[in-house]
Structure 1
């Protein structure tokens, strides 16, 4: 039996992986493909927006209020929008396409079809929480497929085989159209792939063909966009821009998202605690750049830079916070990276290179740094403020349109800072700039104090209490080094309040 299974993976790897994932999908959705109630995600906020858009496209409804997210993923679900699970077909197709690209990349490093299949399955459905990123509707499902297909095409070009710059250009444009934040990945992949030809005339010809392919993908999408929105930005784009990126405090953000959020977000865990093999995957990428030569090194370097630049960008994204990483499944932003980490973890161990051990040790030491809270001095800017908690559910506090007004004006929740219920306190944690001077919390914010774009927080939430409030405590940051508590078995500890309740 095992010999037969291995032969299926060796002979028809894409079909074998597809069969496993299709069976897993049917099992997890519990055969609710055509049940009226549908699967569990239909009542969720993000997934409802995908479904709403797909149904509108099915009936050719181009009203702007029917469409929230970028259009390609809802458009792919539109033909099946009449069913309770309209995104299952496109999810299955994207899963197969992502593996096809991954398998082609694996072959460039001498990894066989059977190992590639097992690595991909382990990195995508080996963990129940990660598998939900593929079962539920997310735009990252389609962008992951395009990213891995683009890596495969770029690898072909770097190795001097089957140069198809027009196809690469189409894939790179599709990455950006499906999820605009992923344009940085497309830029790195395209740069590495198109720079490899020796003759400069060939390079310019490839660039022209790639631009042509990108234009062929862009024009139909632009026509649909203009038919729906005209010449204005979408509300989703405006909201994303309002959140923005805070690169100035990237070290603190990396500490709370990757290493240990507990001192600031009690009860939450970082990515390395949940997925420690991401660290060995990073070590494998670094070792690959170090030990490989020729096109394999260029491919590895392109993958490493794509991963690094994208990760830094996502760490700086204000709306990505530890309380949403697993509670609201925001970890799906990184799912295209999980197969890469699995591949280079495998290579790290199969290479048996002692330099790899040195890289792992260096990364463990780096991940042993964390930024923890301490009481702020009276005149010192504060990273977090504690207020008396109103008598309201944690969800209302978390999503309320509140504001903290300090010496430099108003900061809004959740666009500029995030507020968390912690028992008898509410912690306001700054993300764009620290709180300075005397600060006041407006749990119910008058329009004269602050305004929010559409989709930011819950405008119908009214927190009870007398407003404004003064802070009970103020916290600044302190760099700490010690046991890497993202590793089992010991947690790092808690912060200035009790942990956020679990669902």
Structure 2
């Protein structure tokens, strides 16, 4: 027992520090009662589901989000009925810290450096710390992802063949991740495929390992399926239907990467690119290229790093393609929490670049220069002709509603290609007396018209935008300006050349 505690000692100390910082951020009373976030939609839905499960309430109306996070908080309801997620989050943080130390060791980074990197990567900027203090399903998902990455290292970096129980532990954690956050499935999928290919090439993957892995993965999946059937029956939940209705759009991935990471200003009047607000990400990006290009003496360690970075890149592309992830929501609605798990990994990559640059100066110079050039690319807005497709249109229609009502309104547009709904196919934002409409699923065609109060007969899924109060302008409304995209290179925003719009 003492050996186990000694092994977990750094993680437990880091978790205690996390708890103290939470108390400083929220105050002891609000931290225990959860009163600081009870009015927030996401968190209130988590709490509602947890309390319902604790009382045996399996009615669909009591459960909105995926069930694993609320379910795991049920044992803590008698202890902290106002915030049963606090003990669960503390366990998740301890797991994450322990796993991060193991991942760092597999990458050749010492424990002390790993803990410093973790602290810096979750504390800057302050909005990022808020993503860890409040209950989010991504806290559980982050712990599971890091635990899976640690087990990936156990299988890839280890010299001995994988035992069936090692494969089972890996698969069990992999199966848990989509039960916490279905969209995060891309990470375990990528890591599972990578591990299977690498072990198969080494002749270390046999039927015993495969059978153990499948059996271990089936256990949580079947248990979750039974709970889902008891609540919703053999149909998707309303949350799943809504997420599928919003969907992803990979054709415009370049534009989404530009507005999320570089500079949203030509398109969204509010919001800041991630690289502008968190400029050290650039060093992590350069470090990632450095690690991939510089083949160290240990080929197993290089393969392991490549697996982690492949999973990270896949995750970023999937989430960037998600239609509802926009610069406004990134900061105003704490959408930043989607990325909180991968920032410590980028911190580790940055450390490897700093530590090993003198040993491979040509690679270091090349990746720094390449990253500088890459992060200067962005898609800017230029006027579009009346017959050209447009990514953005501006309409003059002063509404009798606030920013949030306009942002979520059941407005619509129509053009020769058909109607488009706010939130699902395009997004509208207030901008100093006029409204910007941003196309998300396809460009606006010629003859586009905006219907502020919506179009009769359009389908709006459960949980979608609420009713729209009457606007002061009659419908339909023609645009006063049309804008299309153009690829350009300018000095990167992260060196301070772009405005930083804090929400």
Normalising by the residue count of structure 2, what TM-score does the alignment of the two structures yield? 0.92
Q: Could you tell me whether the CA contact under 8 Å between 2:125 and 2:277 is conserved in 1?
A: no
Shift of 1:78: 2.3
Aligned ranges for residues 211-250 of structure 1 at < 5 Å?
Answer: 211-250=214-253
| 2: CA distance, partners of 1:333 / 1:444 | 32
Are residues 1:30 and 2:27 paired? yes
* Unmatched 5+ stretches in structure 2: none
Aligned residues: 486
The change in CA–CA distance for 1:357 and 1:64 in structure 2 (over 3 A counts) is same
SS of alignment partner, residue 428 of structure 1: strand
Partner of 1:59: 55
The change in CA–CA distance for 1:34 and 1:393 in structure 2 (over 3 A counts) is closer
SS of alignment partner, residue 372 of structure 1: strand
Q: Could you tell me whether the CA contact under 8 Å between 2:95 and 2:143 is conserved in 1?
A: yes
Shift of 1:113: 1.5
Shift of 1:379: 0.6
| 2: CA distance, partners of 1:34 / 1:139 | 17
Are residues 1:472 and 2:480 paired? yes
| 1: CA distance, partners of 2:98 / 2:468 | 46
Aligned ranges for residues 253-272 of structure 1 at < 5 Å?
Answer: 253-272=256-275
| 2: CA distance, partners of 1:262 / 1:239 | 28
| 2: CA distance, partners of 1:201 / 1:299 | 16
SS of alignment partner, residue 474 of structure 1: strand
| 2: CA distance, partners of 1:35 / 1:484 | 43
Cα deviation digits, residues 467-496 of structure 1 (max 9, x gap): 2211111111122212112322x3169xxx
Are residues 1:423 and 2:432 paired? yes
Cα-Cα RMSD? 2.0
| 2: CA distance, partners of 1:87 / 1:201 | 40
Q: Could you tell me whether the CA contact under 8 Å between 2:196 and 2:205 is conserved in 1?
A: no
Are residues 1:102 and 2:111 paired? no
Partner of 2:383: 375
Aligned ranges for residues 178-327 of structure 1 at < 5 Å?
Answer: 178-197=180-199, 200=203, 202-291=205-294, 292=296, 293-327=298-332
The change in CA–CA distance for 1:294 and 1:409 in structure 2 (over 3 A counts) is same
Q: Could you tell me whether the CA contact under 8 Å between 1:385 and 1:472 is conserved in 2?
A: yes
| 2: CA distance, partners of 1:330 / 1:394 | 18
Are residues 1:451 and 2:449 paired? no
| 1: CA distance, partners of 2:31 / 2:477 | 51
Q: Could you tell me whether the CA contact under 8 Å between 1:420 and 1:426 is conserved in 2?
A: yes
Shift of 1:9: 10
Shift of 1:12: 2.5
Are residues 1:358 and 2:363 paired? no
Shift of 1:35: 6.7
| 1: CA distance, partners of 2:63 / 2:310 | 33
2:14 maps to which of 14, 17, 24: 17
Shift of 1:207: 2.0
| 1: CA distance, partners of 2:404 / 2:336 | 20
The change in CA–CA distance for 1:429 and 1:173 in structure 2 (over 3 A counts) is same
* Unmatched 5+ stretches in structure 1: 1-7, 494-498
Shift of 1:265: 1.2
Q: Could you tell me whether the CA contact under 8 Å between 2:414 and 2:448 is conserved in 1?
A: yes
| 1: CA distance, partners of 2:495 / 2:329 | 21
| 2: CA distance, partners of 1:169 / 1:261 | 39
Partner of 1:89: 87
Cα deviation digits, residues 178-220 of structure 1 (max 9, x gap): 1111111101111222333356473333222111110012111
Partner of 1:165: 167
Partner of 1:3: none
Partner of 2:348: 343
Q: Could you tell me whether the CA contact under 8 Å between 1:192 and 1:298 is conserved in 2?
A: no
Q: Could you tell me whether the CA contact under 8 Å between 2:411 and 2:455 is conserved in 1?
A: no
Normalising by the residue count of structure 1, what TM-score does the alignment of the two structures yield? 0.92
Shift of 1:462: 4.0
Q: Could you tell me whether the CA contact under 8 Å between 1:396 and 1:463 is conserved in 2?
A: no
Cα deviation digits, residues 18-75 of structure 1 (max 9, x gap): 1211111222120125776x43221111111111111111111000011111000011
SS of alignment partner, residue 466 of structure 2: coil
Shift of 1:326: 0.7
1:491 maps to which of 480, 498, 501: 498
Shift of 1:390: 1.8
Shift of 1:275: 1.1
Q: Could you tell me whether the CA contact under 8 Å between 1:34 and 1:83 is conserved in 2?
A: no
Shift of 1:357: 2.5
| 1: CA distance, partners of 2:6 / 2:119 | 12
Q: Could you tell me whether the CA contact under 8 Å between 1:397 and 1:463 is conserved in 2?
A: no
Q: Could you tell me whether the CA contact under 8 Å between 1:166 and 1:211 is conserved in 2?
A: yes
Partner of 2:450: 441
